[in-house]
Amino acid sequence: MKKHFYVLFLLAVVLGCYSCSKETGSSNKNETEVTLDLVNVTDDRVKVVVKPPTVNSSTIAFQVPKIIPGTYAIQDYGRYIDDFKAFDKSGNSLPVSKKDVNTWVISEANKLDRVEYLVNDTFDEEVGQMKKNETVPFSPAGTNINKGENFFLNLGGFVGYFENQQEKPFVLTIEYPRELAGTTAMVDADASPTKDVYRAKRFAELIDNPIMYAKPDISTFTIGDMEVVLHVYSPRNTKVTSQFLMPALQKTMIAQKDYLGPINKTKRYAVLVYLTAKADNDAQGTGALEHNSSTTGIFEDDMKADGLDHTISHEFFHTLTPLNVHSKEIQYFDFNNPKMSQHLWMYEGFTEYFSVLFRTNKGFADEQAFYDVLADKMNFAATLYNDQMSLTEVSKNVVDPVINKQFGNFYNKGTLAAMCLDIIIREKSNGERGILSVMGELSNLYGADTAFSDDSLIPEFTKLTYPEVGEFLQNHVVKNDPIDYGYYLAKVGVSIQKIKVPVKMAFSLGSNTYFNVDPKTDKVFIATLDGKNEFLRSVGFQDNDEIVELRGVKPEGAESGKLASILAYNLKDGDEYTAKVIRNGEPIELRGKVKLNQVDGNKIEFTDKSKAVLKDQWLYK
C-alpha cells in the first residue's frame, strides 16, 4: 500500500508540473497537436486545428489520407475538407495552395503556428456519390457527424499530417458534449467529462485507433488481463443494445483468446458498433474494418444477438497478423502514395482460416460444418475469381481497380492456402505444430514494433518450417499454379467429391446476372433472360419486369441492386417466394416455389479413418 501511495504521489507531481508547463505556454515542438471540437458543430461540420512540430522550411505540405490500412481501396478523405487555412502565431493568414484532393501546400511555413479546417462526414455523402457513380468510402472506414448524438471518428477522415512528420508523436484533444461518451482502445489522459486527450507515438498509431462518441450504451468484460469494451449506437432499434449483443460477443472472444493462448498480448480491445437505418444521410454499406486493437462495424439495426459473431471471429484474429507479423509496407504505411505489401494472402487468408477453424477447435461447430465452409470457399474461388492470378501479385497491386476485384479471393483461396500449409506442417511435425504455432514464433521474432522486409517473409517462413512449405508457397502463392486441394486433404483422411450444388445467388448463374439497375432511378429490372435460370422461371419473372418488392422488402435506394441480390440469397428448393413487379405498366404479384439452379461443386467429408490421429491434431490441437 505504501509503495502504491508513493507512485501515485510522484504521478501527481509529474502531472502537476506538466500542467504548469502547459499554462506557461511551453510545448513539445517535437509533436503534432490536434484538436477536434465536437461541441460547436455548425452546418454538420467539425472544426479541426492542427499545430505542427517546429518547421524550418519555407514551404510545407499538409496531407490527409488517400487510403488507410485494411481497406485496400481509395478513400480520398480530402474530399470532405472545407475552408482550409494556415495562420502564424499572431493569427495572420499564410498563403495556401491546394496541390491535389488530399494535399495543401503552405508558404512562409517557418512562421506557421497552426492550420484550421472544417470536416464533413462521409455518411451524408454516400447516396449522392453512388448516384454519380463516384468512389464511395467503405462505410466502416467512414465518418459520421450528428451533433449531440453521434460522432463516428475514423481518424483518417479528420486528422492529417505535415510532410516528413508522420513518425513523430501526436497529441489529440477532443472536446465533446457532456451527455456523450467516447470509446476507443486508446487511454484517455484527461479526467474531464467533456475533454479527452490521447497520445500516439506516430500518425499511423493514431489512425489505427478509431473513436465513437454517443450516448453511453457501453458494456465491458475482461478476459484474463485483456479488457473488452463494446459501445453500440442504435438510434432506431432500442432492443439492439450493448447488453443485447454482449453475451454472444463475450462467448466468442473468450474462446478466441483461449485459442490464441500466449500469442495474444492485447490489453484493451474496443468494438464500436454503429447501426444504420439506411436513410439518405446514413451509412449505406455494412461490414467491419479491423484495427490492431479495435473493430469498427456498421450493421443494419435489426441484427441478431449473435450478429457480431463472425465479424469478431475474423477481426480479432488480426491481433496476430498484421499486428504482430507484418511487413515494412504496413509498419511505415504511406497514406498518400501507398506501396502495398505482397502478403495480403497471409494477413487476410490466415486470419479468415483461424476464424473458421477455431469454431470447430472450440466446439462452436462440428467437423462437417468446417468442411462445408471449406467446400464453399473452393466453389467461390473457382467460380467468382481468377484462379490463374498469383496471390502475391494481387496483393502488391490490389489498389488497381481491376486487380481489386480479385481481393475477395484472399478470403477464399487465401484461406485454402492456409489450410494446405497447416496440413503440411502437421504432417511433417507428426502433429506437433501448425501454422498457428509458426505464427506465434514469427510474433516472437518480430512483434508489433518490428517489421519484416517484404521479400524476406517466405524464406523466413520456410526456414522456420520445412522445405515442402517453401515449395508450396513458391508454386501456389508466388506463382499461379492451381492447388490440388484433394492431395493435401487426403493426408488427414478427408476427401473431395464432385457433386451438383445449388447456386447461392439465385439471380446469378455463371457470369450472368439476371437484372439491371437504372443508374438514374435506382430501379431494378429483370434482364438478359436466356431460359437457363430455373429460379426466375419458378417464381414467374419475365424480361423487363420492374422489381417492386421481393419477399416483402422493396429493393430501392443507392444499393437497390445489392439488396435485390441479398433477397434472393441462400434460398432452399421448395421455399415459398413472393414478389411484386410492374409488367407493361401493370402491377403484378408473383408467387412460386423456389427451384434453384445447380452447378458443379464440392462436397468434403472425412472418409479415411486410418488418418484420424493426424486429422484430430489438425482440428483440435
Residue written as grid cell 481497406: 71
Beta carbons of 422 and 434 less than 8 angstroms apart: yes
pLDDT at residue number 601: 85
- Cβ-based neighbour number of residue 620 at 10 Å: 12
Q: Mean pLDDT across the stretch 492-521?
A: 88
Q: What is the pTM of this model?
A: 0.86
Q: Is the pLDDT of residue 278 over 90?
A: no
Q: For a pLDDT cut of 70, what percent of the chain falls above it?
A: 95
Q: Which range has the worst mean pLDDT, 95-104, 170-179, 599-608?
A: 599-608
pLDDT in tens, 112-132: 999 999 999 999 999 888 777
pLDDT at residue number 11: 35
Beta carbons of 181 and 206 less than 8 angstroms apart: no
Q: Which range has the worst mean pLDDT, 4-13, 432-441, 466-475, 489-498?
A: 4-13
Per-residue CA distances from 618 to 379, 464, 608 (Å): 23, 18, 15
Mean per-residue pLDDT over the chain, rounded: 91
Rg (CA), the chain: 26
Q: Which range has the worst mean pLDDT, 34-38, 40-44, 127-131, 413-417?
A: 127-131
Give which of 396, 407, 419 is closest to 478, Cα–Cα: 396
Beta carbons of 448 and 324 less than 8 angstroms apart: yes
pLDDT band, residue 17 (cuts 50/70/90): very low
All domains of the chain, ordered by start, with CATH?
26-121+155-203 (2.60.40.3650), 325-491+608-621 (1.10.390.10), 508-596 (2.30.42.10)
pLDDT at residue number 25: 36
pLDDT in tens, 522-555: 899 998 778 889 999 999 999 999 999 999 888 8
Give which of 43, 293, 38, 49 is closest to 160, Cα–Cα: 49
pLDDT at residue number 224: 93
- Cβ-based neighbour number of residue 324 at 10 Å: 24
Q: Is the pLDDT of residue 576 over 80?
A: yes
Torsions phi, psi for 546 (to 5 deg): -90, 120
pLDDT at residue number 509: 83
Q: Is the pLDDT of residue 227 over 60?
A: yes
Q: Which range has the worst mean pLDDT, 16-30, 211-225, 374-388?
A: 16-30
pLDDT band, residue 558 (cuts 50/70/90): low
Q: Is the pLDDT of residue 13 over 50?
A: no
Interior angle at CA 323, CA 407 and CA 357, nearest 5: 65
Helix (H, G, I), strand (E, B) or coil at 24: coil
Dump the DSSP string for 361-427. Answer: HTTSS-HHHHHHHHHHHHHHHHHHS-TTS-HHHHHHTTTSHHHHTTGGGGGTHHHHHHHHHHHHHHH
pLDDT at residue number 531: 84
Q: Is the pLDDT of residue 501 over 80?
A: yes
Q: Mean pLDDT across the stretch 200-227?
A: 97
pLDDT at residue number 235: 87
pLDDT in tens, 465-492: 999 999 999 999 999 999 999 999 999 9
What does the chain come to in residues? 621
Asked if residue 247 has a cis previous peptide bond (ω within 30° of 0), the answer is no
CA dihedral of residues 356, 362, 367, 373 (deg, nearest 10):
-10
Give which of 558, 520, 554, 518 is closest to 127, Cα–Cα: 558
Per-residue CA distances from 127 to 124, 274, 319 (Å): 7, 18, 33
The three cell numbers locating residue 481: 499454379
Q: Mean pLDDT across the stretch 355-366?
A: 97
- Cβ-based neighbour number of residue 71 at 10 Å: 17
pLDDT at residue number 171: 98
Q: Is the pLDDT of residue 140 over 70?
A: yes
